[in-house]
C-alpha cells in the first residue's frame, strides 16, 4: 500500500472528490464516516484541495489506513503552519516523526 501511495503524488492537483475516487479505484475503501471527516476537516479548516489531499495521503502513509481523528489533527496543524504545497507537508510530517 505504501508503494502505491508513493506513486500518488501526481494526483495532488485534483479536487478532493477526484482524489478520493482515484484512491478508491486503487483499492482503498472509505466509509461514510471517513468521507464525512474529510469534508468536515476541509470546511472546518478552510483548507485548499491540495492541502486536504496531502493530509489524506500522509494519514494513509502514517496510519496505514484512514484515521479520521489523525487526519483532522494533521490538517489543523498543516493549516496553522500556513503550508501550501505537498512538499512542505511532507517535510512537516517528517520533522515531527510521523513518517520514516
How does pLDDT run across 48-80, given as a tens digit for each residue? 999 999 999 999 999 989 999 999 999 999 999
pLDDT reported for residue 46: 96
Q: Is residue 68 part of a domain?
A: yes
Binning pLDDT at 50, 70 and 90, where does residue 92 land? very high
Q: Is residue 100 part of a domain?
A: no
Residue 1 has pLDDT above 80, yes or no: no
Please give the average per-residue pLDDT across 6-16, as a whole number: 65
Q: Is residue 63 part of a domain?
A: yes
Q: Is residue 7 part of a domain?
A: yes
Q: Is residue 80 part of a domain?
A: yes
Q: Is residue 71 part of a domain?
A: yes
Whole-number percent of the chain with pLDDT over 70: 86
The CA radius of gyration of the chain, in Å to the nearest whole number, is: 12
The number of domains in the chain is 1
Q: How far out from the chain centre does Cα 24 lie?
A: 14
Q: Is residue 45 part of a domain?
A: yes
Residue 4 has pLDDT above 70, yes or no: no
Q: Is residue 64 part of a domain?
A: yes
Provide the 3-class DSSP secondary structure of residue 42. helix
pLDDT reported for residue 5: 53
Residue 35 has pLDDT above 80, yes or no: yes
Residue 38, domain extent: 2-95
Cα pseudo-dihedral 95, 11, 36, 42, rounded to 10: 60
Amino acid at each position: 500500500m505504501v508503494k502505491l501511495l508513493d506513486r500518488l503524488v501526481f494526483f495532488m492537483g485534483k479536487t478532493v472528490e477526484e482524489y478520493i475516487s482515484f484512491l478508491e479505484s486503487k483499492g482503498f475503501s472509505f466509509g461514510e464516516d471517513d468521507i464525512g471527516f474529510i469534508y468536515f476537516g476541509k470546511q472546518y479548516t478552510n483548507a485548499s484541495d491540495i492541502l486536504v489531499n496531502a493530509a489524506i495521503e500522509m494519514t494513509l502513509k502514517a496510519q496505514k489506513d484512514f484515521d479520521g481523528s489523525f487526519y483532522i489533527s494533521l490538517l489543523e496543524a498543516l493549516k496553522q503552519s500556513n503550508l501550501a504545497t505537498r512538499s512542505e507537508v511532507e517535510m512537516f510530517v517528517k520533522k515531527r516523526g510521523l513518517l520514516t
